[in-house]
Amino acid sequence: QYELLRQLIDELPLPSDPPLIDEIGVQALRSADPPEAVGREEHGKRWHVGWTTLSEDGRCALSGHSLQALDISREEEALLERMVIKLAVDGVKNSGKRFKRFKKWLEDQPPFDIVIDGANVGFNNQNREGGLFQYSQIDAVIHKLRETGSRVLLVLHPKWLRADADRTVTKRKKRKLDQINLESGLGSSEESPEDHEDGEPEIQYPFDPITDAERSAPSGTPLGFIRQWKESECLVRVPAKDCDDWYWLFAALSSSRRGARHVQVVSNDHMRDHHWRMVGNRSFLKWQGRHMTRVSIWSETSDAENCKVTLTPPDLYSMQAQVSCDGSHWHFPVPTLPSRAQQLSSGRPLPRKEIESAECHWLVAWHMK
């Protein structure tokens, strides 16, 4: 029975389903004072169950046990890296050739501590009428990170490096792609003579040389920011025909494999569509929980140039069901959501995004001698 529970925790690391909590009969504990109850004795040990709170470092108020920060294994990380390569080269002509060149350049560099999803940061808080891609926001994040002495890599699509870049917020219909199948191979990243016959210029990494327009651009302008990023060598430009998501994700995984196990990606992108294409790979969710730093950018005035940045790294413990090594402490995060029956009766099933952002309460079961 306990082995089955362990397997469920490993395979379903997301917050527990409230109907399950109702079913096992502990929902009534919420109104108890204190919100805990004594359970049965088993092998000379008495079980307790209750609703608890966690300190900032993950210490349980009821049991005194500290939750862990759970990361993926080296084997899971290697598989995830293979998936990213597969996705990067899938469905776009010559993408394997382009990605191979990026991979070669990247792995000639020391590992990075921080990888910035430039497009996501540039559009942070700009999804509104009159919103624009903000170079100043990206620069503010870079400066904040460099204050910590971190080695930073900014990943940007070349459309944001043009003098005539269209900075307006546009909703483009995403191209529907199939889920990937690793058994069919990773696709070829080898170059062939035909690869050079499509007229596509060979990309130079990490970026094109500073242009005359960038050199003469005043500080604080888009081209001025681009010049600064090139001068500080924190920028990498991805190929125009490729998705930049795979490049920043691979850069983070590569850095981790090469020694920067603490690497963080600065982005608010939950990559739900990419997770679906990975056939719901659970390791990816666990990896996100340890390596994604969320960002909030705001300004006290209408001037986006004077923005303020708040970075929210992962908690010191993982927001997922956990069991201690000796099996004496079991913790389950339970989102405060209507039960499935309530959702069905209301005719409004909750979207995945709302479930993921719901506040969680923690349920703990532990035994004492």
Q: Tell me, what's the pLDDT at 44?
A: 80
**Residue 31 and residue 173 in one domain:** no
pLDDT reported for residue 343: 72
Q: Are strands 235-237 and 264-266 parallel, antiparallel or unpaired?
A: unpaired
Residues 26 and 103 occupy one common structural domain = no
Distances in Å between the Cα of 200 and the Cα atoms of 94, 95, 241, 242 are 9, 11, 10, 13
In the numeric block, the tokens 């005359």 are attached to: 212
CA distance 139 to 122: 9
CA-to-CA dists, residue 71 to 52, 248, 299, angstroms: 24, 19, 35
**Residue 341: which H helix or E strand, with range?**
helix 340-346
162: exposed, middle or buried (Cβ count in 10 Å: 0-12, 13-18, 19+) = exposed
| 8 A C-beta contact, residue 178 and residue 277 | yes
Residues 125, 217, single domain; the answer is: yes
Among 293, 312, 331, the domain-final residue is: 312
pLDDT of residue 105: 96
CA distances from 75 to 6, 8, 80 (A): 20, 20, 9
**18 and 88 both lie in a single domain:** no
Q: Are residues 190 and 246 in the same domain?
A: yes
119 and 180 both lie in a single domain: yes
Neighbours of 93 (CB within 10 A): 11
Residues 102 and 60 grouped into a single domain:
no
Query: Same domain for 203 and 336?
Result: no
78 and 57 together in one domain: no
**Long-range contacts (CB closer than 8 Å, 24 or more residues apart) made by 339-344:** 339/18, 339/19, 339/22, 340/17, 340/18, 340/19, 341/19
Q: What is the C-alpha separation between 51 and 59, in angstroms, rounded? A: 14
- Both 23 and 114 in one domain: the answer is no
Domain count, the chain: 2
Q: Residue 81 is encoded by which pair of tokens?
A: 């890296």
Per-residue pLDDT of the chain (369 residues; tens, 9 = 90+): 456 556 556 655 455 555 555 545 555 566 666 677 787 777 788 888 888 999 999 999 999 999 999 899 999 999 899 888 888 877 666 678 889 999 999 999 999 999 999 999 999 988 777 889 999 999 999 999 999 999 999 999 999 999 999 998 776 656 555 666 655 554 444 444 444 445 556 788 999 999 999 999 999 999 999 999 999 999 999 999 888 999 999 999 999 999 999 999 999 998 766 555 555 567 888 899 999 999 999 887 666 667 899 999 999 999 888 889 888 998 988 877 776 677 778 877 777 677 767 788 888 989 876
| Domain identity same for 86 and 116 | yes
Long-range pairs, 210-216, Cβ under 8 A, ≥24: 211/163, 213/163
Report in angstroms the alpha-carbon separations of 55 from 65, 188, 275, 288, 317. 11, 49, 30, 22, 10
For residue 297, what are the contacts with CB-CB under 8 A and spacing of at least 6?
121, 124, 125, 134, 137, 140, 141, 307, 308, 309, 310
Sole residue written with tokens 């598989």: 79
- Kindly report the CATH number assigned to the domain that includes residue 184: 3.40.50.11980
In this structure, are 274 and 346 located in the same domain?
no
The domain boundary, picked from 268, 284, 312, lies at 312
Q: Tell me, yes or no, if the pTM score tops 0.85.
A: no
Domain that holds residue 55: 2-69+321-368
**C-beta separation of 333 from 362 below 8 A:** yes
